[in-house]
Structures are given as C-alpha cells and as structure tokens.
Amino acid sequence: MLRKAKILFILLILSGLILLSCRKFEEYPVEPAIEYEDFLLEYNLETGKTERGVLIFSYTDGDGDLGLSPDDTNPPFDLGGAYYYNLIIKYFERQNGIFKEVPLLAWNADSARYDTLTFNTRFPQLIPESVEKSIKGVFNDTLFILNPLSQYDTIKFSAYIIDRGLHKSNTIETPPIVRISK
C-alpha cells in the first residue's frame, strides 16, 4: 500500500510539472503598444486650483526593450537628439471649441525671456538589456497642468513611447480635462 501511495505521489508531481511547463507566456509585437487608462486631477487646497494631474496608461512590448539607462547618452539618445526622450507628451488647449497644440512657456530670469517647456521625459529601463522577453505594465506620469498664461480651462494630452530599438508605439489621447480654479 505504501508503494502505491509513493507511485501515486510521484505521478501527481510529474503531472503538475508537465502542466506547468506547458503554460504559455503572453507574446506581443516588438513595437510597443499603449492604452489610455485614466487621468487623475490633483486639486491644491492651498491655491484652490488644479495644478497637477496623473496620466495613467498601460503598455506591452514584445522584446522588453523599454526604457533608457543613465548611460544612454550617445546618438541617437543624446541630448538634443530625436530619441533623447522616450515618452513624448503633447499638450492641447480647447480654444473656441477646437483643440490646438500649445507650447508651454516659463519665464527665464537669467535670459530675460520665455523658455519653452516640455512634458517629454526619459523613463528608466524596465528590464535589463540582457533579458529579452515580452512585458506589460502600467505607467503613471505626473504632469503640471496649470498654464498661468492661458485663459482656457479645458485641455488634453496625447502621448506615445519609443523603445531602445527605436520602435514607436501608437498614440493615445486623454479625453477633455477641465481644470478647476476658484
């Protein structure tokens, strides 16, 4: 009886291992893909204004080459290069019923002129370069949304990402966002 129990136990273990080895991993194209999830407004009680918001989107990438290391500063990832930023975000305001891309400006006291700001950013590598596998996850990016030079209260953003293989994702857009100001 003890021998039959041992054989049954070994068969159960082997069956379990065989089932686990047959588990399929999700596969995605090598081009990253993103999907809009949400935009959360952050209301500042002290100023009575909505100054920041959090853009939330999910991503997939078939070879996992998302993100840049701090050492990625040579072309094409050099400062001023087309691929320095790997998260590209554009800002739009609804002006007279039509959304228009608007550059954000900030006063630079040193140069005594306005500088153009950007929402674009570099996000770090999500998995080591030596690992090549499909990945998925969720990004949260906090954005300052208050434009003190604007009279318009309805905005939206578009965004896309670029992987280390220079593959560009699809572009997502937020729905219209109404900034609260008292």
- CATH number for the domain harbouring residue 154: 2.60.40
Q: Is the pLDDT of residue 5 over 90?
A: no
- Asked whether residue 142 is domain-assigned, the answer is yes
**Cis amide leading into 76 (omega within 30):** yes
- Asked whether residue 3 is domain-assigned, the answer is no
pLDDT at residue 127, rounded to an integer? 81
pLDDT at residue 148, rounded to an integer? 76
- 50-79: average pLDDT: 93
Rounded distance between C-alpha atoms, residue 156 and residue 83, angstroms: 23
Q: How would residue 156 be classed by pLDDT, with cut points 50, 70 and 90?
A: very high
Q: How would residue 106 be classed by pLDDT, with cut points 50, 70 and 90?
A: confident
Rounded distance between C-alpha atoms, residue 73 and residue 75, angstroms: 7
Structure tokens at 120: 């674009």
- Asked whether residue 16 is domain-assigned, the answer is no
Contact 101, 37 (CB under 8 A): no
- Asked whether residue 134 is domain-assigned, the answer is yes
- Asked whether residue 7 is domain-assigned, the answer is no
Contact 174, 55 (CB under 8 A): yes
- Asked whether residue 159 is domain-assigned, the answer is yes
- Asked whether residue 54 is domain-assigned, the answer is yes
Q: How would residue 175 be classed by pLDDT, with cut points 50, 70 and 90?
A: very high
- Asked whether residue 10 is domain-assigned, the answer is no
pLDDT higher for 90 or 25?
90
pLDDT higher for 19 or 59?
59
Q: How would residue 182 be classed by pLDDT, with cut points 50, 70 and 90?
A: low
Lowest-confidence segment of 42-51, 61-70, 85-94 by average pLDDT: 42-51
pLDDT at residue 147, rounded to an integer? 78
- 2-11: average pLDDT: 59
* Most confident segment among 75-84, 101-110, 112-121: 75-84
Question: Residue 48 contacts by C-beta under 8 Å, 6 or more apart in sequence?
Answer: 181, 182
Report the chain's mean pLDDT, rounded to a whole number: 85
pLDDT higher for 42 or 9?
42
Domain region containing 89: 26-178
Q: Is the pLDDT of residue 167 over 90?
A: yes
Q: Which amino acid is at 7?
A: I
Domains identified in the chain, total number: 1
